[in-house]
A and B are shown apart, each in its own frame.
Chain A
Amino acid sequence: MSKKASAPAGQAVNAEAWVDDHGDFLFRYALLRLNNRQVAEDLVQDTFLAALSSIQKFKAASSLRTWFVSILKRKIIDYYRKHAHEEETDSEGVGKKAFGQDGHWIEENGPQDWGAHPEQALNKSEFNEILRRCVSYLKNKAALAFTMKELDEMDSQEICKELKISSSNLWVLLHRARARLRECLESNWFGIKK
């Protein structure tokens, strides 16, 4: 028999249904930003527990999912802040060498032709998986900055405030993230398919 907590409106809350309805969504959200299954699972669990504890604060006007995401977002940032010092040093040597000594593209490693409408690759589920994986390969700090900017569409100043970095740090992180992501997509999709 499932237990229920009471919601502000006096309606019974079945917290287990939350897991069925929102578990996968929240897990994907966390995994994309943290690239660590165990941590992502833990944070999803923490999110549901936190939500259950503060169910009284939930205003029925906004959706449950939006509320869960806001809790999870906060937990992801807190996790990053706590573990920032454990961050691996960014290995610039990974991947093909893009530029020669003179700062120009090395001919064989220069960006290839992706065709007229590369965004249409999204129509293929295979591609979605590759995009997801390429984003998840980004390192923690770069991954967070990048997903905040491009997926959550947060303002640069806001991101700097949350991650406690300067704007020039942010530009560097975003540049590296974009360069890596571009290279990953080219190696795994656009460079192969014609």
Chain B
Amino acid sequence: MIKIVMPLMDKFTPTCEIVTRRLSESMDHKLPLRVRLQVNLHLMFCKFCARYRDQLLAIQKMLRNFDPSLSEVHLSEETITRIKNSLKDHNCKP
């Protein structure tokens, strides 16, 4: 089945490399109809690109729901003191 589909796919749709680029672009602006049709045709036969599309969408969802307060990253005590001191100095200026 693959041996029949792949050459057909190559003839009528762009390569996976191009399709991944188009999938990313489709998230930023509307693709021309012809391109959209070619991409959708490719996605019907290529499980990797179909996964790629789903994964890009999933990542976008994750970032929209990302909560930075759950981060393990903190300012060090040293830095906090340094910043507070610079604010104090600033206040002291006439």
Interface positions of A (Cβ within 8 A of B): 2-5, 15-16, 18-20, 23-25, 27-29, 31-32, 41, 44-45, 48-49, 52-53, 98-99, 102-105, 110-114, 118-119, 121-122, 125, 128-129, 131-132, 135, 149-151, 153, 156, 167, 170-171, 174-175, 178-179, 181-182, 185-186
Contacts and interface: CB of A to CB of B under 8 A. Distances in A.
B73 A28 contact: yes
Interface in B35-68: 46-49, 51-52, 54-56, 58-68
Chain B, interface residues (CB within 8 Å), range: 35 or more
Contact of B17 (A99, A111, A122): A99
A48 to B, nearest CB: 6
A28 B71 contact: yes
A25 B70 CA distance: 10
A24 B74 contact: yes
18 contacts: A3-B88, A3-B91, A5-B91, A19-B84, A24-B75, A25-B68, A27-B73, A41-B83, A45-B83, A45-B86, A99-B17, A110-B51, A114-B54, A128-B70, A150-B60, A156-B29, A171-B28, A174-B28
B22 to A, nearest CB: 9
Give the interface SS of chain A, mostly helix, strand, loop or mixed: helix
A122 B88 contact: no
Contacts, number: 149
Nearest to B85: A16
A41 B28 contact: no
B68 A32 contact: yes
Nearest to A132: B71
A4 B59 CA distance: 44
A174 B21 CA distance: 9
B16 A19 contact: no
A111 B48 contact: yes
